[in-house]
Structure 1
Amino acid sequence: MGSLQSLIGPHRLDALGAWAVTGILVGGVGRFAAGGEFDWAVLTALLVAIAVTVPFATRDLETTVPAELLGLVAVPVLVRAFGGFPQVTPFLVVAGVALLLAVVLDAGTSLTMTPRFATVFVVIVTMAVAGVWAVGIYATDTLLGTTFLDGQTELMWDLVTAAGAGVVAGVVFELYFERSARIARLRVSDPDPPEGDQSEASLPGNGTHHRIAVRTLQALLGLISAFALVRGNVTLFVNSGGPLAITFLPALFRREYGYAMDTGLVLWITVASTLHAAGAFELYGAFGWYDSLAHAVSASLVAGVGYAVARAVERHSGAVAFNRKFRATFVVLFVLAVGVGWEILEFASGGIASIIGGEAVLAQYGTSDIVNDLVFNTVGALVVAGWSTAHFEGLAARLTGRVGRLTSGD
């Protein structure tokens, strides 16, 4: 397992290289601003600001981010300065900003993370920023009458590009970390013991009421699946049978791993699954609020999973430590990234259907639908991040010890 903080240190020759790259980036800010590309000027200025944070904070000009890492992050800026790959390079810069930010936060705050987790963080941030960008651009076009977006297809290809850029950047950074001589290797520590009371909070009502509600909703999902099977409706069957299978996962976890999930959380999962399945009966198209509700509820579960993963990683390794604000931020970013991934799946489903014929298993209803989904995904994430993380402490405890790949770097 590697130490991200070990990247920062006083190295005279390396510092000269880092300052040289910083100077090039400063020149890039001026060039972009002079050419009217203010978005690129801001992105590049952000890289410069993060790069100089370390030497200014330590009051030592020889203590910098590694020159080769800063140079790697600066590559997409230079490519864009010469007019290359205008669709991809912005998201590669975002990935670079995320990585530098992770390094600086690790070095200068109480946050600590391993290189492997930082790589995952880069991918999540890149996809999440793409989601925020999509919402912002759509809002600008709607409220100010601009025409930044040409339509749904262009937006979706931008999201696909962002996801691809994030993954590519993550792979490149992972390879860098594996080969960097400045990464100090640490002993893998035993999982931290649970802190305090790890019992999960519960939804209103007792376990019996929760179980009755779960069985009722499972029966409803079963009826929908049977109806779809009889009618030969593949789309409806997938959209009801899949959620029905998800509702049985808690029972599977209990049998295979001995994890008795809180009945309130099981009901939460079942309600989200039922909302999605019922939406396949044209409810998404008929009632705009229904789509928003379904996405908010589903996103709240995704947020809980994101929180549980972050807490499990933190407990698994003594080299990882997050504070409450970072956990909340990670939850929102995680949901945004998963939301972008879901929209890409829907887009791919439509593309496949157009090639082979038939109805798309997962449907999109235009640009406004995509943006609305992303917005209400965020609403669900904010609810969990602010008030409902206690529901997922038990899941986090169970995941501890099973997240070694997110903390190890070897």
Structure 2
Amino acid sequence: MGSLQSLIGPHRLDALGAWAVTGILVGGVGRFAAGGEFDWAVLTALLVAIAVTVPFATRDLETTVPAELLGLVAVPVLVRAFGGFPQVTPFLVVAGVALLLAVVLDAGTSLTMTPRFATVFVVIVTMAVAGVWAVGIYATDTLLGTTFLDGQTELMWDLVTAAGAGIVAGIVFELYVERSARIARLRVSNPDPPAVDQSEASLPGNGTHHHIAVRTLQAVLGVISAFALVRGNVTLFVNSGGPLAITFLPALFRREYDYAMGTGIVLWITVASTLHAAGAFELYGAFGWYDSLAHAVSASLVAGVGYAVARAVERHSGAVAFNRKFRATFVVLFVLAVGVGWEIMEFTSGGIASMIGGEAVLAQYGTSDIVNDLVFNTVGALVVAGWSTAHFEGLAARLTGRVGRLTSGD
């Protein structure tokens, strides 16, 4: 695996290049501000602030972010300064900010992350920021009467563009890391996964109560799936049969991997699945609040998975260390990114349905629906980040090694 810390170091010639790029970015801030493009002025100023953090913190002007990396991040700013690709370049800059932030946090704080995890972090942050941007722009248009958004399609293409920009930036950074002579290769022994404490995964009630509730909800899902099958309703069958299959995953993990999830977590999964399936059975349209509830509960489960992933990576590698605040932040960012990905899936489903005919398997109901989903996804994430991460320690222990190898580059 590699160390991001090795990217930061005193290199006189490289520092000259980094300061030259920083000077160009400072000029870009002035150009954008003079032209009234204050959003771009702020974005570019943020890049400058991150770039100068390292030399100011170390009090050594020769210790900088690598010039070639900073120059790469500055490319979309220069392209935008000359009027090119206005739809894509903002999200490329956001990806660049995330990339530099990962390097600086690793070098200047107690946080440490491998290049592979930094790549994942860049993608997640870019998509999460796109989700926050969508909510913010919609709120501005609604409350202040502005017209930044021109409908659902424009919003969705912006989210698609953001996801693409994050993925491209992550791939570029991964290639840079593989070819950079400045990345120190480390060999760190991987600790054995800690024993799973099933008591961490408890919810109110005992195991018998949880088991009865799970079987009852599975029966409900089975009835909805059978009804959809008899009526030939493909959309309802997919939206009920899929969640029903998900509820059997804990049993599959127990049989195939000898991992017995706590009954509370199994119930949590089943409730989230049932809410989604029942919503497809006309409840979304009948009750305006139902969609918000379903997204908050589902997002809480996604947040737990995000936490488990971060903890698994941390436990797997001695070269990775996070603190509590970063874990909580990562949980929220992870859920926002997954939420954006889900909206893209719904958008794609609608596009396919319009081309081949028939009803979309995953449906969207306008801009307000998209924004509402993203907001209540965040609510679910905040609940888990603030109070419920301990429920997923057992899952994190089981993921250690599998997820760790994926994100540490072993």
Change in 2 beyond 3 A, CA 1:338/1:86:
same
Cα offset, 1:94, TM superposition: 0.3
Assess if the C-alpha contact under 8 Å between 1:276 and 1:294 holds in 2. yes
Cα offset, 1:407, TM superposition: 3.7
Change in 2 beyond 3 A, CA 1:187/1:26:
same
Assess if the C-alpha contact under 8 Å between 1:192 and 1:318 holds in 2. no
Unaligned segments of structure 1, at least 5 residues: none
Q: What is the rounded CA distance, in whole Å, between the counterparts of 1:132 and 1:200 in structure 2?
A: 32
Change in 2 beyond 3 A, CA 1:195/1:212:
closer
Q: What is the rounded CA distance, in whole Å, between the counterparts of 2:409 and 2:183 in structure 1?
A: 10
Assess if the C-alpha contact under 8 Å between 1:202 and 1:265 holds in 2. yes
Q: What is the rounded CA distance, in whole Å, between the counterparts of 1:182 and 1:198 in structure 2?
A: 43
Q: What is the rounded CA distance, in whole Å, between the counterparts of 2:128 and 2:235 in structure 1?
A: 29
> Which shifted more, 169-178 or 188-197?
188-197
Assess if the C-alpha contact under 8 Å between 1:191 and 1:401 holds in 2. no
Assess if the C-alpha contact under 8 Å between 1:191 and 1:400 holds in 2. no
Provide Cα deviations, 1:50-99, integer angstroms capped at 9, x if missing partner: 00000000000000000000000001000111111100000000000001
Provide Cα deviations, 1:332-363, integer angstroms capped at 9, x if missing partner: 00000000000000000001011111110001
Assess if the C-alpha contact under 8 Å between 1:55 and 1:61 holds in 2. yes
> Which shifted more, 195-204 or 119-128?
195-204
1:7 paired residue number: 7
Assess if the C-alpha contact under 8 Å between 2:196 and 2:398 holds in 1. no
Provide Cα deviations, 1:98-148, integer angstroms capped at 9, x if missing partner: 010111110111000000000000000000000000000000000000000
Q: What is the rounded CA distance, in whole Å, between the counterparts of 2:125 and 2:11 in structure 1?
A: 30
Change in 2 beyond 3 A, CA 1:207/1:196:
closer
Change in 2 beyond 3 A, CA 1:250/1:195:
closer
1:251 paired residue number: 251
Assess if the C-alpha contact under 8 Å between 1:201 and 1:390 holds in 2. yes
Q: What is the rounded CA distance, in whole Å, between the counterparts of 2:403 and 2:394 in structure 1?
A: 15
Cα offset, 1:16, TM superposition: 0.2
Change in 2 beyond 3 A, CA 1:55/1:179:
same
Cα offset, 1:248, TM superposition: 0.1
Cα offset, 1:287, TM superposition: 1.1
Q: What is the rounded CA distance, in whole Å, between the counterparts of 1:299 and 1:132 in structure 2?
A: 15
TM-score under structure 2 length normalisation? 0.98
Cα offset, 1:288, TM superposition: 1.3
2:124 paired residue number: 124
Provide Cα deviations, 1:224-271, integer angstroms capped at 9, x if missing partner: 001100000000000000000000000000000011000011000000
Cα offset, 1:281, TM superposition: 1.5
Change in 2 beyond 3 A, CA 1:407/1:358:
closer
> Which shifted more, 281-290 or 49-58?
281-290
| Corresponding residue SS for 2:199 | coil
Cα offset, 1:404, TM superposition: 3.5
Cα offset, 1:190, TM superposition: 1.3
Provide Cα deviations, 1:136-166, integer angstroms capped at 9, x if missing partner: 0000000000000010000000000000110
Cα offset, 1:408, TM superposition: 2.9
1:228 paired residue number: 228
Assess if the C-alpha contact under 8 Å between 1:29 and 1:44 holds in 2. yes
Q: What is the rounded CA distance, in whole Å, between the counterparts of 2:264 and 2:196 in structure 1?
A: 21
Change in 2 beyond 3 A, CA 1:115/1:198:
farther
Q: What is the rounded CA distance, in whole Å, between the counterparts of 2:2 and 2:246 in structure 1?
A: 36
* Superposition pairs of residues 130-145 of structure 1, within 5 angstroms: 130-145=130-145
Cα offset, 1:405, TM superposition: 3.6
Q: What is the rounded CA distance, in whole Å, between the counterparts of 1:306 and 1:197 in structure 2?
A: 19
Cα offset, 1:200, TM superposition: 1.7
Q: What is the rounded CA distance, in whole Å, between the counterparts of 1:240 and 1:142 in structure 2?
A: 34
Assess if the C-alpha contact under 8 Å between 1:95 and 1:125 holds in 2. yes
Cα offset, 1:194, TM superposition: 2.9
1:369 paired residue number: 369
| Corresponding residue SS for 2:261 | coil
Change in 2 beyond 3 A, CA 1:196/1:244:
closer
> Which shifted more, 26-35 or 277-286?
277-286
| Corresponding residue SS for 1:99 | helix
Cα offset, 1:401, TM superposition: 1.0
Assess if the C-alpha contact under 8 Å between 1:300 and 1:383 holds in 2. yes
Provide Cα deviations, 1:33-61, integer angstroms capped at 9, x if missing partner: 01110000000000000000000000000
1:392 paired residue number: 392
Assess if the C-alpha contact under 8 Å between 1:328 and 1:386 holds in 2. yes
Assess if the C-alpha contact under 8 Å between 2:250 and 2:260 holds in 1. yes
| Corresponding residue SS for 1:164 | helix
Change in 2 beyond 3 A, CA 1:273/1:53:
same
Cα offset, 1:198, TM superposition: 7.0
Assess if the C-alpha contact under 8 Å between 1:350 and 1:363 holds in 2. yes
Change in 2 beyond 3 A, CA 1:20/1:198:
farther
**How many residues are aligned here?**
410
1:82 paired residue number: 82
| Corresponding residue SS for 1:29 | helix
Assess if the C-alpha contact under 8 Å between 1:198 and 1:397 holds in 2. no
Q: What is the rounded CA distance, in whole Å, between the counterparts of 2:353 and 2:24 in structure 1?
A: 47
Change in 2 beyond 3 A, CA 1:74/1:190:
same
Q: What is the rounded CA distance, in whole Å, between the counterparts of 2:257 and 2:103 in structure 1?
A: 36
Q: What is the rounded CA distance, in whole Å, between the counterparts of 1:165 and 1:405 in structure 2?
A: 25
Cα offset, 1:201, TM superposition: 3.5
Cα offset, 1:188, TM superposition: 3.7
Cα offset, 1:189, TM superposition: 1.9
Change in 2 beyond 3 A, CA 1:56/1:372:
same
Cα offset, 1:21, TM superposition: 0.3
Cα offset, 1:195, TM superposition: 8.8
CA RMSD of aligned residues (A): 1.2
Cα offset, 1:192, TM superposition: 5.3
Unaligned segments of structure 2, at least 5 residues: none
> Which shifted more, 196-205 or 52-61?
196-205
Assess if the C-alpha contact under 8 Å between 1:111 and 1:322 holds in 2. yes
1:49 paired residue number: 49
Provide Cα deviations, 1:203-237, integer angstroms capped at 9, x if missing partner: 11000000000000001100100110000000000
Assess if the C-alpha contact under 8 Å between 1:199 and 1:393 holds in 2. no
